[in-house]
Amino acid sequence: MNGVIIATLVVSLTGLILGIFLGVMGKKFAVEVDEKQIKVREQLPGNNCGGCGYAGCDALAKAIAAGEAAVGQCPVGGAAVAAKIAEIMGTEAGDEARKTAFVKCAGDCEKAKENYKYSGVKDCSVMPFVPNGGSKTCTFGCMGFGSCVKACDFDAIHIVNGIAKVDKEKCKACGKCVAACPRHLIELIPYDATYKVKCASKDKGKDVIASCSAGCIGCMMCTKQCEHDAITVENNIAHIDYDKCVGCGKCAEKCPKKIIHLD
């Protein structure tokens, strides 16, 4: 009986000593966490998509708390989350314009010509290893195998009739589809942008016509119509400066190939 009592006392004493030791060490080596960082992290949506430019929501919260990132850096949270974080940080949220992804291609199954029928692996990343970079004659357009679709966490992009199309209401502008597209066809533009150039071909006009009926031929008719210097032609392709564009539509009216679209 005495042995049981002694054993119990030894175990209890050992536990007490270990508890005190762990408590002291915990305080001594504790990593201090900024209270603002914790509060900011609570407001972030937790998608960990990387669209903010950081490794995840934890990393972004730390950067915001340290003043290294803007309160509106989270594209998924948008203005509502930015306002809450600004209140925590004691700053103004600012007027950050909402953005959406946009696919610079209109070469669907009816418009884009094909050199052959492809029946291999359905992934855009494989196309550089097949003849002509894929079955379509145009080597600048959407290949339609959905690498962007697989990258999207928000079900905001789908392949429709051979090309990727973005649902701007679902898009959070995280940029994953932008990074996933091997031909760099997707860009982030203002959500309220009116006219868009749905082509990215840098080929000369006659080569574009031979490849796709919906391609920009670099004729510069659009630039001649714009009174605000909002559209230019570089490397045979038209580009819209959304900071200058007023949405008048004159460029779209005069485009002979009708590749400037109102969405």
What domains lie within the chain, and their CATH numbers?
35-89 (1.10.15.40), 98-192 (3.30.70.20), 194-263 (3.30.70.20)
pLDDT for 29 = 61
Q: Confidence band (pLDDT; 50, 70, 90) for 4?
A: low
Q: pTM of the full predicted structure?
A: 0.77
CA distance 216 to 193: 19
Q: What is the pLDDT of residue 80?
A: 86
Mean pLDDT of 43-59: 87
CA-based nearest residue to 145, from 153, 128, 154: 128
Residue 55 has pLDDT above 90, yes or no: no
Q: Which residues of 211-250 are buried (b: 16+ CB within 10 A; e: fewer)?
A: bbebbbbbbebbbebbeeebbebeebbbbbebeebeeeeb
Residue 27: pLDDT band (50, 70, 90) is low
**Spatial contact of 225 and 250, defined as CB atoms under 8 Å apart:** yes
The mean per-residue pLDDT over the stretch 114-135 comes to 91
pLDDT bin (cut points 50, 70, 90) of residue 198 is very high
Please compute the mean of the pLDDT values over residues 235-247 and round it to a whole number.
95
Tell me, what amino acid is at 36?
Answer: K
What is the per-residue pLDDT for 215? 94
C-alpha closest to that of 65 among 44, 46, 93, 88: 88
